[in-house]
């Protein structure tokens, strides 16, 4: 086979070009520090590197979310701490104002401070985060959640029950908000199960305690009514008597009339056929303890006085504080007024305790979310570092090997150039 001079020159030139291309690519890898300049360099490694980069991007977004979640939760925790401290002050003022040593003037001074605390509570409930979004508005972050209604005297909630979540890990979602309804509105009054009240028209000095739950409470509304003593010999110092009704107006005690209507019982009392339960100060009211409610009355109730034991209902914290300064501003003219005052203060005190418990529970939940967020942040950081190390092993250049390849390719290029020079010098005229 004949090989022409032109063909030999073309082969030498192609060899030089190939060596030059390899050398250029190696130089580019060294300058960028990347082993993979294009997928064709290593299809499997390129695919793996792409998946790793996507995962790293996801975890970096998780870290951004975790940072935002932590900032918002820290802000909410701080606000709830302020709310708790404010309620503690309200409780202290309630205890101080309950003392009979307080004068009408001193109670007004306490009421003035309570009014200021009311305004502070409203301000805390309308707190915003760093993005100027309301913390306790649910999904309605741009809507002011708590707005006083001058017509009704109540504070209306304009937010919703929504709770925002952020994804801070592949399988971890963290709530970054609490609705204002759950923190400031959904608070059970009384002892959380039932609430005790006196009738506004009572004339005696009876004071009913907040009561406590014993065993399983039977949800019911009870009425305790006092009547004159009916047991012979009916001396002036005989204690008044009482009977208990359920919400349907049927007798609970005396047990002999249980299930009977009030009309039947009172008719028999009027006919001296039966009597009520003799009142004993600070003794448990009969008929309620068997249904899970322990309630007692102190002082001296008058015949015709009425007390109530009702199932707890939701009462917002603003109403609780308002009830306090309203009671403190009312005059006390006689013993009956004083009894009403103490009954109202007892209710306020247990309502404040319920509000405090609700806020502490909310704060505990926020603290738990903060712990989850911090731990997930550390997990994300560790996992991200591992993925970056793996990506580096796949994508980054081995400089020692690259320099060795560069030298070999440079030698190969020089050899190809020398060969081309010699081929160009070949001619039969050189041998003539």
Range of the domain at 261: 196-310
pLDDT of residue 63: 87
Q: What is the pLDDT of residues 93-102, one digit of tens each?
A: 999 999 988 9
Torsion of CA 279, 284, 285, 288, to 10 degrees: -170
| Cis peptide, bond prior to residue 225, ω within 30 of zero | no
pLDDT of residue 14: 63
Same domain, 141 and 162: yes
Same domain, 63 and 176: yes
- Domain final residue, candidates 253, 278, 310: 310
The reply to whether 322 falls in a domain is no
pLDDT band at 122 (very low <50, low <70, confident <90, very high): very high
Q: What is the rounded radius of gyration, in angstroms, for the C-alpha atoms of the chain? A: 42
Q: What is the pLDDT of residues 49-74, one digit of tens each?
A: 567 567 767 778 888 999 999 999 99
- Neighbour-count burial of 311, counting CB atoms closer than 10 A to its CB (0-12 exposed, 13-18 middle, 19+ buried): middle
The reply to whether 2 falls in a domain is no
Same domain, 269 and 222: yes
Same domain, 163 and 210: no
SS3 280: coil
pLDDT of residue 44: 46
The reply to whether 109 falls in a domain is yes
C-beta atoms surrounding 14 within 10 Å: 11
Predicted confidence (pLDDT) at residue 235 exceeds the cutoff of 50: yes
Q: What is the pLDDT of residues 373-418, one digit of tens each?
A: 999 988 888 877 777 666 555 555 544 555 565 555 565 556 555 6
Contact criterion met (CB below 8 Å) for 138 and 177: yes
- The C-alpha atoms of residue 308 and residue 300 are separated, in whole angstroms, by 16
- The C-alpha atoms of residue 171 and residue 189 are separated, in whole angstroms, by 38
Same domain, 178 and 278: no
Cα 279 to the chain's mean position, in Å?
46
Same domain, 168 and 242: no
E strand intervals along 238-325: 241-245, 251-253, 277-278, 293-294, 297-298, 306-311
DSSP 8-state assignment for residue 200: T
- Inter-CA distances, 382 with 57, 130, 373, Å: 14, 28, 14
Q: What is the pLDDT of residues 264-276, one digit of tens each?
A: 999 999 998 999 9
- What number of residues does the chain have? 432
pLDDT band at 37 (very low <50, low <70, confident <90, very high): very low
Same domain, 306 and 368: no
- Domain final residue, candidates 342, 369, 384: 384
- Domain final residue, candidates 310, 342, 368: 310
Tokens of 41: 């360099």
Question: Which residues lie across from 149 on neighbouring strands?
Answer: 154
Contact criterion met (CB below 8 Å) for 73 and 370: yes
Same domain, 97 and 212: no
Contact criterion met (CB below 8 Å) for 178 and 216: no
Closest among 298, 274, 275, 272 to 285, alpha carbons compared? 298
pLDDT of residue 289: 87
pLDDT of residue 384: 75
The reply to whether 262 falls in a domain is yes
pLDDT band at 219 (very low <50, low <70, confident <90, very high): confident
The reply to whether 134 falls in a domain is yes
* Diameter of the chain measured on Cα atoms: 164
Closest among 125, 119, 143 to 183, alpha carbons compared? 125
The reply to whether 392 falls in a domain is no
Q: What is the pLDDT of residues 168-218, one digit of tens each?
A: 988 889 999 899 999 999 999 999 999 999 999 999 999 999 999 988 888
Contact criterion met (CB below 8 Å) for 277 and 241: yes
Same domain, 288 and 366: no
pLDDT of residue 136: 94
- % of the chain with per-residue pLDDT over 90: 62
| CATH classification of the domain holding 82 | 1.20.1330.10
| Mean of the per-residue pLDDT values of the chain | 84
The reply to whether 144 falls in a domain is yes
Closest among 133, 170, 144, 122 to 316, alpha carbons compared? 122
Place of tokens 């997928």: 39
* The total number of structural domains that make up the chain: 2
> What does the DSSP assignment read for 110-161?
HHHHHHHHHHHHHHHHT-B-TTS-BTTSTT-TTS--EEEETTTTEEEE-S-S
Q: What is the pLDDT of residues 313-349, one digit of tens each?
A: 999 999 999 999 999 999 999 999 999 999 999 999 9
Same domain, 179 and 202: no
- The C-alpha atoms of residue 305 and residue 367 are separated, in whole angstroms, by 48
Predicted confidence (pLDDT) at residue 285 exceeds the cutoff of 50: yes
> What does the DSSP assignment read for 227-242?
E---STT--TTPPPEE
Buried b (16+ CB within 10 A) or exposed e, 186-203: ebbbbbbebbbbbbeebe
pLDDT of residue 170: 87
pLDDT of residue 1: 47
Same domain, 223 and 174: no
Which run of H or E residues covers position 167?
A: strand 165-169
| Cis peptide, bond prior to residue 254, ω within 30 of zero | yes
Cα 67 to the chain's mean position, in Å?
18
Same domain, 61 and 180: yes
Residues 6+ apart with CB under 8 A from 295: 196, 208, 209, 211, 284, 285, 288, 309
Predicted confidence (pLDDT) at residue 277 exceeds the cutoff of 80: yes
The reply to whether 364 falls in a domain is yes
- % of the chain with per-residue pLDDT over 70: 75
Contact criterion met (CB below 8 Å) for 72 and 65: no
- The C-alpha atoms of residue 318 and residue 325 are separated, in whole angstroms, by 11
């Amino acid at each position: 086979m004949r090989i022409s001079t032109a063909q030999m020159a073309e082969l030498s030139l192609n060899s030089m070009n190939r060596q030059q291309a390899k050398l250029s690519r190696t130089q580019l890898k060294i300058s960028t520090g990347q082993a993979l300049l294009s997928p064709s360099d290593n299809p499997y490694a390129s695919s793996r590197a792409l998946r790793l980069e996507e995962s790293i991007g996801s975890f970096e977004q998780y870290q951004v979310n975790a940072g935002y979640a932590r900032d918002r939760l820290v802000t909410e925790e701080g606000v709830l701490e302020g709310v708790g401290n404010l309620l503690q002050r309200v409780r202290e003022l309630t205890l101080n104002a309950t003392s009979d040593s307080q004068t009408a003037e001193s109670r007004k001074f306490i009421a003035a401070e309570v009014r200021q605390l009311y305004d502070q509570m409203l301000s805390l409930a309308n707190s915003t985060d760093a993005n100027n979004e309301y913390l306790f508005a649910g999904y309605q972050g741009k809507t002011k959640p708590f707005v006083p209604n001058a017509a009704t005297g109540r504070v209306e909630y304009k937010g919703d029950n929504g709770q925002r979540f952020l994804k801070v890990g592949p399988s971890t979602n963290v709530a970054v908000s609490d609705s204002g309804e759950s923190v400031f509105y959904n608070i059970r009054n009384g002892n959380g199960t039932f609430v005790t009240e006196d009738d506004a028209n009572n004339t005696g000095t009876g004071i009913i305690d907040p009561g406590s739950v014993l065993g399983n409470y039977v949800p019911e509304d009870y009425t305790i009514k006092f009547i004159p003593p009916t047991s012979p010999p009916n001396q002036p110092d005989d204690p008044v008597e009482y009977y208990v009704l359920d919400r349907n107006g049927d007798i609970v005690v005396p047990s002999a009339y249980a299930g009977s209507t009030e009309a039947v019982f009172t008719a028999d009392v009027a006919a001296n056929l039966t009597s009520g339960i003799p009142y004993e100060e600070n003794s448990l009211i009969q008929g309620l303890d068997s249904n899970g409610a322990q309630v007692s009355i102190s002082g001296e109730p008058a015949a015709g006085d009425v007390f109530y034991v009702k199932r707890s209902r939701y009462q917002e914290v603003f109403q609780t504080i308002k009830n306090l300064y309203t009671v403190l501003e009312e005059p006390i003219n006689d013993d009956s007024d004083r009894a009403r005052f103490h009954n109202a203060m007892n209710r306020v005190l247990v309502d404040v305790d319920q509000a405090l418990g609700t806020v502490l529970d909310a704060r505990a939940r926020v603290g738990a979310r903060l712990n989850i967020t911090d731990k997930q942040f550390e997990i994300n950081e560790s996992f991200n570092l591992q993925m970056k190390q793996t990506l580096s092993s796949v994508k980054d250049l081995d400089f020692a090997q690259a320099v060795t390849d560069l030298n070999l390719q440079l030698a190969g290029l020089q050899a190809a150039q020398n060969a081309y020079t010699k081929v160009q010098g070949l001619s039969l005229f050189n041998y003539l």
